[in-house]
Amino acid sequence: MSPVAKAFGHLSAVYPDTVFSSIEQIEALVASLPRSAIFSAAPHGASAALIDKLLAKAEAAGTKPSVVDISADYRFATNAAYAAVYKHDHGAQSRLSQFTCAVPEHLASAPTPHIGHPGCFATAILLASVPLLKLGIATPTLFVSGVTGSTGAGRKPIEGTHHPMRHSDLYSYNALAHRHAPEVAAVAKAASGVDAHFAFVPHSGPFARGIHVTVQAVLAKPASTAELLEQFKQFYAHSPFVSVSATAPRVKEIAGSNYARLSLASDGKTVAVMSVLDNLNKGAAGGAVQWMNRLQGLPETAGLTAPAAGWT
């Protein structure tokens, strides 16, 4: 089998002899272990069937794996909702009821045995938006402007990640038509009980790691910046990876870590909430580990407390 270090050179010093396993080897492993943890980072549209196959093997063997899927395949509760966005039927419709999609900060515990991760832009937007909706702070139309680093597009070379095209540039894409908007609306409704509209304009930024999101909305009743900051601080008081402060958050403060930072401002009529996180960590792999820690009965922070890289 191919060495992991051949595909990911930065891991060669730590895992020089580790090789990739075949799907058959993984099936045998899942069937042989009473408990196991499965992270799926397969492409959208492919992940559902792979997970279904592994869970079928486990069920036949009487074992109980926990799954966290980082693709979009388990972010919707129904096939109809999934197909409306992705234009094809879900690859394992019978499994949908076994998955919940949420950020860990918005659910005390998982109501299902498996989790669908909301994704990077969605996590940043949800952290900023759910308190606005659940606490009745804002009316349910939210305007979102987000900037993501180039690593959010994956490893495959495309124009949007090509350095000469992206360096020192900033541009929007899929304005008011991004596929994450309906995902965010669905997860926000489940977390807050409010059916909200998200007018989302994503941007590509001239950096590699991180996401900066600004969510704006009309206040349901007048409130000062200080009052709203206190409500947000109380909302996330027991969330070890989310901090709220009066200081505007910066991407460099969280890049490379599982931490997220929030701040906000109010003019008495409207509110703007700023949210920053690392798209590959808190917005993907780190958030997935955070959920798996919960599913496995481990401390939520296990393996995730390394600070941001700082001035890289």
- As to burial, measured by CB atoms within 10 angstroms (0-12 exposed, 13-18 middle, 19+ buried), residue 272 is middle
Dist. CA 281–CA 254, nearest whole Å: 9
Q: Which of 55, 120, 229, 255 is catalytic?
A: 120
Instruction: Please spell the DSSP secondary structure of 104-150, one letter per residue.
Output: GGG-SS-SSSEEE---HHHHHHHHHHHHHHHTT-B-SEEEEEEEE-G
Q: Where are the alpha helices (DSSP H) in 217-310?
A: 225-235, 286-295
As given in the structure block, the two tokens for residue 278 are 């690392």
End-to-end CA, the chain:
34
Cα 119 to Cα 86: distance, rounded to the nearest angstrom: 15
Establish whether 120 is a catalytic residue.
Answer: yes
What whole-number distance in Å separates Cα of residue 42 and Cα of residue 52? 13
Q: What is the side-by-side strand order in the sheet with 35-40?
A: 35-40, 64-69, 114-116, 99-101
Q: Is residue 92 left, alpha or beta, with left meaning phi > 0 and alpha meaning psi from -120 to 50?
A: beta
Task: Report H helices in 201-285.
Answer: 225-235
DSSP 156: S
Rounded Cα distance, 134 and 33, in Å: 40
Instruction: Give the three-state DSSP class for 3.
Output: strand
Which position has the token pair 């609306």? 185
Active site residues: 120
